[in-house]
Amino acid sequence: MRTIIYTGKGGVGKTSLSSSTALAAAKRGHRTLVMSTDSAHSLGDSLGTSLGPDPIPVAPNLDALEVDVLTEMERHWKEVYGYFTALLQSQGVEEITAKEFVVLPGMDMIAALLLLDEYKRQERYDTVIMDTAPTADTLRLLSFPDVLRWYFEHFFKIQKRMVKVARPTVGKVMKTPLPTDRFFDAIQQLYDRSLSVRELLSDPRHSTVRLVVNPQKMVISETQRAYTYLCLFGIPIEMLVVNKVYPASSKDGYFAEVLKEQEQNLATIREAFGDLPILTSPRYPYEVIGSERLTKLSTDVFGEKDPSALFASTNPVRFTSTKSGKAVSIELPFAESEKLDVSLRGDTLYIRVGWHKRTILLPYSYAGLKLGEARYVGGRLTVNFR
Ligand X SMILES: Nc1ncnc2c1ncn2[C@@H]1O[C@H](COP(=O)(O)OP(=O)(O)O)[C@@H](O)[C@H]1O
Binding site for ligand X (CB under 6 A): 8, 10-16, 42, 243-244, 281, 283-284, 287-289
- CA–CA dist 99, 86 (Å, integer): 9
Which does residue 287 touch among ligand X, Mg ion, none (CB within 5 to 8 A, set by kind)?
ligand X
Neighbours of 345 (CB within 10 A): 9
Q: Classify the C-alpha dihedral 151-154-157-161 as positive or negative.
A: negative
- Residue with the CB atom nearest Mg ion in the bound state: 15
Shortest gap between Cβ of 131 and ligand X (angstroms)?
Answer: 7
Choose between 40 and 309: whose C-beta lies nearer to ligand X.
40
Give 250's DSSP letter: G
Which does residue 11 touch among Mg ion, ligand X, none (CB within 5 to 8 A, set by kind)?
ligand X
DSSP assignment of 304-366 equals TS-TTS-------EEEEEETTEEEEEEE-TT--GGGEEEEEETTEEEEEETTEEEEEEPPGGG
Shortest gap between Cβ of 49 and ligand X (angstroms)?
Answer: 15
Task: Report the C-alpha dihedral over residues 269, 273, 279, 281, rounded to 10 degrees.
Answer: -30
Q: How far is residue 345 CA from its own chain's centroid?
A: 27
Which does residue 102 touch among Mg ion, ligand X, none (CB within 5 to 8 A, set by kind)?
none
Which does residue 10 touch among Mg ion, ligand X, none (CB within 5 to 8 A, set by kind)?
ligand X
Site map (CB under 5 A) of Mg ion, residues 305-324, x = contact:
--------------------
Choose between 39 and 224: whose C-beta lies nearer to Mg ion.
39
Choose between 27 and 244: whose C-beta lies nearer to ligand X.
244
Contact region with Mg ion (CB under 5 A), list: 9-17, 19-27, 238-246, 281-289? 9-17
| 8 A C-beta contact, residue 121 and residue 208 | no
Which does residue 76 touch among Mg ion, ligand X, none (CB within 5 to 8 A, set by kind)?
none
Residues 6+ apart with CB under 8 A from 241: 13, 17, 210, 211, 212, 213, 278, 279, 280, 281, 301
15 interacts with Mg ion by CB under 5 A: yes
Q: What is the CA radius of gyration of the chain?
A: 23
**Side by side, which strands form the sheet with 127-131?**
56-59, 62-66, 32-36, 127-131, 2-8, 207-213, 237-245, 278-282
Choose between 216 and 329: whose C-beta lies nearer to ligand X.
216
Which residues make beta-bridge pairs with 377?
A: 380
Choose between 140 and 357: whose C-beta lies nearer to ligand X.
140
Choose between 47 and 328: whose C-beta lies nearer to ligand X.
47
First to last CA, the chain: 40
| 8 A C-beta contact, residue 17 and residue 129 | no
Shortest gap between Cβ of 243 and ligand X (angstroms)?
Answer: 5
| 8 A C-beta contact, residue 272 and residue 333 | yes
- CA–CA dist 117, 129 (Å, integer): 13
Shortest gap between Cβ of 133 and Mg ion (angstroms)?
Answer: 8
Shortest gap between Cβ of 104 and ligand X (angstroms)?
Answer: 22
Choose between 8 and 333: whose C-beta lies nearer to ligand X.
8
Shortest gap between Cβ of 17 and Mg ion (angstroms)?
Answer: 9
Choose between 42 and 196: whose C-beta lies nearer to ligand X.
42
Choose between 15 and 384: whose C-beta lies nearer to Mg ion.
15
Contact region with Mg ion (CB under 5 A), list: 12-20, 78-86, 223-231, 273-281? 12-20
Which does residue 236 touch among Mg ion, ligand X, none (CB within 5 to 8 A, set by kind)?
none
- CA–CA dist 237, 222 (Å, integer): 16
Contact region with Mg ion (CB under 5 A), list: 10-18, 96-104, 284-292, 348-356? 10-18
Contact region with Mg ion (CB under 5 A), list: 6-14, 254-262, 282-290, 300-308? 6-14
Shortest gap between Cβ of 348 and Mg ion (angstroms)?
Answer: 36
Shortest gap between Cβ of 211 and ligand X (angstroms)?
Answer: 11
For 88, half-sphere exposure in the C-beta direction (CA atoms, 13 angstrom radius) is 16
Residues in contact with Mg ion by CB under 5 A are 14-15
